[in-house]
Structure 1
Amino acid sequence: MTAGYTDTRRCGRWLVWITAIAVLLWPALAAAHASLVASDPASEAVLATPPTSFSLTFNEPVTALLLQLIDARGRSQAITAIDQDGATLRFAPPAALGEGAHVLSWRVVSADGHPIGGALTFWIGTPGQRLPPIVVPDDPARRTAIWATRILAGFTLLTAVGGAAFLAWIAAAPVAGAALLTAGLALLGLLAVVLSAGLQGLDALDLPLARLGDAAVWRAGASGSFGDAAALSGMAFVLTLLALRWRGWNARLLSLGAVVSLGTAFAVSGHAATAEPRALSGAAVWLHGVSLALWIGALPLAIAVGRRDAAPATLRRFSKAIPLVIVMLLISGVALAAIELGRIDALWQSDYGRVLIAKLALVCVLLALALWNRVRLTPLLLAGEASAVRRMRASIVAELVLVIAILGVVGLWRFTPPPRSTASQPAAASEMVHLHTERAMATVTLAPARAGPVEIEVLLQTAEEAPLAAQALTVTLANPEAGIEPLSAEARKTADGPWRARLTAPVPGKWTLTLGILISDFEKVNLETPIVIR
């Protein structure tokens, strides 16, 4: 073994370790730096007359990305005429405001380029339960572009990463042309991932396709869980290209790192990745993506079957490994369906369920084709049947076409929230949840737990159930599906012990409640839990 080979192998192992560390630490890489310190009108304010001007004051200068005002009729109007005075944004209402509840949603970029957002509700006249029926705007051209780009990014990610793993772990000998094809798919996938980030930014800011070149669009697209998923996908493509460059254990380790990055990219964003219980749904999404990539990685097999020296050994290895992969794919898919549907009748009574039915139909055809390959074509090919090579290649091409169709159907979930996030349940007077970590615990009571003004009471304790003396407490409600930014309020400490805050949840659905507990000048604890606003 030469010194150069040893150095190359060591380099490959270091890259895999770096990938693993990056994946594990990824959630800690993003932190907002700017914050809203004052607003006029204040959150939850009740005004006798419509305001003639608004102001948002932050703790540092910011750049406005998107400001919109949702009036009492649910009409969303963008605010474009904004005056900036240091860290304060001032603007006038885009139209005359009537009585009732109004929601001001804002999204800005701090000085370091980190986008943050928030929303506040105020009332004109008498406060009540009637809230704006928020309608999320839609752009058909933008929707189609997002759908098509995600199909391309998903297909290239699965085939390139899976293909590299196949060549490194399954192929009995180097397959001429397969590495070049896989590298081409990886490069095409990188372009698709970059473009998808820009389209995500357009969607977040509600801008037309013509604004794709705006810097603010790309900053918005690179933020949040989607930006994390795009970066992890890019990492998977880069590791794939490196794995194709080397041989032996270097290629195996690098392809393994690419597979891990792919699974994590699937697990950090999307409906299923944020469903409860998160540990189960995240693991199921990760396993689903990885097993699908390992199956679809049979693309190089279409080339390998034409080589009499490598085909028999390669086919035997593939036939031995693929049943376990398919079992993992089916188990994770069933788990995700159960989590997202919540009830069996949602399978045919919701748009999400109908999309799932279409996907399952295509998956059944795909599995039937795979079974035919294994039971019928593989023995013929191993026996040296001349026509088996052509038939196997045609079958694998058909599988890939079906995969593209499945990705196209799955892409529709981007626009159809799962039933569990929109399930309507009987109204309740209040709801109590308990949150805890090793550093702090909290008992939270929401009254009433339905759309409209919500009184939130928080009792803070240490892990030993002793009173926790916190310096400050921030309460946040977030529901991205509602088309507005998160709502936050600073809680007030009462004389009898609990902290209290008041927020208005504009729409029913599944929300995320986050408590930001400032324990000392150097320590802050965040507690998070899903809640249902009915």
Structure 2
Amino acid sequence: MLARLLLLLAVVFMPAVALAHAQLQTASPQEASLVAEMPAELMLVFNEPVSPLRILWITPDGQQIDAEATSANTRLTIPVPSTARALEGTHLVSWRVVSADGHPVAGTLHFSFGSESQAAQTAASGTNASSAAVVAARAVLNLTLAFGTASLFGAALLRQDKRSLAGVCAWLTLPAAIGLVAAYGLDLTGRPVSSLVDFALWQTALSTPLALTAFVAAASAVLAVASGTSLPGTTLALALAGLSFALSGHAAGADPRALMAPAMALHAMIALFWAGTLPVLLYRALNGTLSAAELTRYSRLALPLIVVLLATGVVMAAVQLGGPERLFGSSYGTLLMVKLGLVAGLLVLALVNRIRLTPRLAAASPALQLAARRHLRLTLGAEILLIVAILVLVAGFRLTPPPRALASPAPAAVSLHLHGAAAMADVRLSRQDDGLLALSVVLMDADGAPLLPKDLTGSLSNPEAGIAGLKLSLARQAEGTYVSQPVALPLTEGWVLRLDVLINDFKVQKLVEPLPALP
């Protein structure tokens, strides 16, 4: 059953692997652009903070160079390798970064220097197999937490001495956690399984939030085994298991984090409580020691917890979806609806046990009691199968970026970087309330220090629309910073910005860059 569910996840949701949470917004040079002068560095700007994993620069003659990169918040800077600076033709830059919620993101930027040429093929930046391996490892870890750590808690809560199988499952959490870190390392780096012998791969994986998830999950299992039949000890182990779900993934990266992380931890803890107590109840039903009084006490404890489970689930779904209309038409929404269907089945079975079977178990008639025990075995077994399906299914959420992460509202501003041999500029265009566009320019010299030129002039043109240069009135506001008078542009696309930086009486640096779509 586990293999079938994982296969279903791979078939239905694997196309969404390429949909990453961090999205590239602008690049300098821009995609498919032709530059007359090779810039000293490339600039990639994302919609959320990222960290570089690997940058592969492919030159027009087919050289593959591992380039360096630095990140500052949402901006990734890639210095042009020295061996690529003088090579005219089409360059490919294959980048791989990790987004704020721990998901790897990959893409390729191509631009041409001097003239276009036949581009070499970019190396694969990642495989679907490595993403599927992370999902499988996460599913296995979910199951060992549920039927290991949580079942040991259930045995302590319901005073069940038979706990050897739960102990075995708890110990399996340790290799499951290591397997998750290994699979994630392969996914982050996009490298083959043989790379597991490379310490650098493990170092990369261990520096991520998912490694903390794996560590806390393993610690919860060790604590549960060490606590024996102690209810306080196993309760703390259950809390740690729930916390592990909130340390990485969608909930860890969603705002407001002060709400989402506790909601995720509480939601996971209650779900594990439910999953861990069911095997204990089934064992009692099978050996004939489960009483109506015990079932009634369990129901009274479980009912308020289920209410909290549903409430935290609604809160998290509302944040991740961003609106009820996004439940339909997205892989995330489809997966969520399947999960809700399975949870609905669990609730129906729990109601049958509480309303129909528990009273019969307390009946005076031996025949009614026998029939109730037989039906309880079936319903409790069915609940466990549904729990297994849910635990495997929720691992698949990693393949499906939530709609709130994929939403692409119109940008409030456009930022870009212009680079020349003697000067460079950071430019920002933003839409004012009156509809006019405000433009600011920060000038720097070739070393990145503030630049105070003798003069700065600028213009905007739209060659495709036949609009010649519209002069910009740029006034100096601070050291190296210039602001233009707001301008009205009739079109949102096709504009080209030109800045003429008069460095001294004999030297002018011209910076020309096509603008992305304006806000």
Q: CA deviation at 1:309?
A: 5.2
| Partner Cα distance (2:186, 2:356) in 1 | 49
Q: CA deviation at 1:147?
A: 1.9
Q: Deviations over 1:165-211 (max 9, x none)?
A: 22222x1x4333xx111101111222111101100000000012343
Partner of 1:381: 361
Q: CA deviation at 1:221?
A: 2.1
Partner of 2:394: 410
Partner of 1:67: 54
Q: Deviations over 1:351-385 (max 9, x none)?
A: 11111111111111121112112222222233361
Partner of 1:265: 244
Partner of 1:175: 161
Cα–Cα, structure 1 residues 447 and 94, in superposed 2: closer, same or farther, change >3 Å? closer
- Which of 285, 291, 295 aligns to 2:274? It is 295
Q: Which runs of 5+ in 2 are unaligned?
A: 1-27, 43-51, 69-78, 99-104, 115-121, 416-426, 432-438, 443-475, 483-517
1:26-425 correspondence to structure 2 within 5 Å: 49-50=37-38, 67-69=54-56, 79=65, 98=89, 137-169=125-157, 171=158, 173-176=159-162, 179-243=163-227, 245=228, 247=229, 251-298=230-277, 299-307=279-287, 311-383=291-363, 385-425=369-409
Cα–Cα, structure 1 residues 446 and 421, in superposed 2: closer, same or farther, change >3 Å? farther
| Partner Cα distance (2:477, 2:107) in 1 | 29
Q: What RMSD over aligned residues (CA atoms) do the two structures have, in Å?
A: 4.6
CA contact (8 A) 1:263 1:287 kept: yes
Q: State the one-letter code of the partner of 1:69.
A: L
Percent identity of paired positions between Structure 1 and Structure 2: 30
The 10-residue stretch of structure 1 (311-320 or 345-354) with the greater mean CA deviation from structure 2? 311-320
Q: CA deviation at 1:159?
A: 2.6
Q: CA deviation at 1:149?
A: 1.8
| Partner Cα distance (2:86, 2:147) in 1 | 51
Q: State the one-letter code of the partner of 1:355.
A: L
CA contact (8 A) 2:142 2:392 kept: no
CA contact (8 A) 2:185 2:204 kept: yes
Q: CA deviation at 1:288?
A: 0.9
SS in structure 1 opposite 2:160?
A: coil
| Partner Cα distance (1:405, 1:283) in 2 | 24
Q: CA deviation at 1:154?
A: 0.6
CA contact (8 A) 2:59 2:87 kept: no
Q: Deviations over 1:295-351 (max 9, x none)?
A: 111211111234555644432321111111211110011111100000222111211
Cα–Cα, structure 1 residues 168 and 495, in superposed 2: closer, same or farther, change >3 Å? farther
Q: CA deviation at 1:412?
A: 2.2
Q: Which runs of 5+ in 1 are unaligned?
A: 1-40, 55-64, 83-87, 108-116, 127-133, 432-444, 458-493, 501-532
Cα–Cα, structure 1 residues 77 and 188, in superposed 2: closer, same or farther, change >3 Å? farther
SS in structure 2 opposite 1:212?
A: helix
| Partner Cα distance (1:101, 1:447) in 2 | 28
SS in structure 2 opposite 1:154?
A: helix
| Partner Cα distance (1:95, 1:286) in 2 | 54
Q: Give the TM-score of the pair, scaled to structure 1.
A: 0.58
CA contact (8 A) 1:262 1:290 kept: yes
| Partner Cα distance (2:387, 2:85) in 1 | 47
The 10-residue stretch of structure 1 (140-149 or 408-417) with the greater mean CA deviation from structure 2? 140-149
Q: Deviations over 1:48-76 (max 9, x none)?
A: 5558999xxxxxxxxxx953236799xx9
Cα–Cα, structure 1 residues 446 and 48, in superposed 2: closer, same or farther, change >3 Å? closer
CA contact (8 A) 1:236 1:259 kept: yes
SS in structure 1 opposite 2:161?
A: coil
SS in structure 1 opposite 2:55?
A: strand
Q: How many residues align?
A: 367
SS in structure 2 opposite 1:425?
A: coil
SS in structure 2 opposite 1:339?
A: helix
Bigger-Rg structure (1/2): 2
Q: CA deviation at 1:94?
A: 13
Cα–Cα, structure 1 residues 415 and 371, in superposed 2: closer, same or farther, change >3 Å? same
Cα–Cα, structure 1 residues 218 and 78, in superposed 2: closer, same or farther, change >3 Å? farther
CA contact (8 A) 1:267 1:282 kept: yes
| Partner Cα distance (2:177, 2:123) in 1 | 28
Q: CA deviation at 1:78?
A: 6.9
Q: State the one-letter code of the partner of 2:281.
A: L
SS in structure 2 opposite 1:175?
A: coil
CA contact (8 A) 2:148 2:170 kept: yes
CA contact (8 A) 1:47 1:124 kept: yes
Q: CA deviation at 1:499?
A: 9.9
| Partner Cα distance (1:295, 1:498) in 2 | 62
Cα–Cα, structure 1 residues 400 and 311, in superposed 2: closer, same or farther, change >3 Å? same
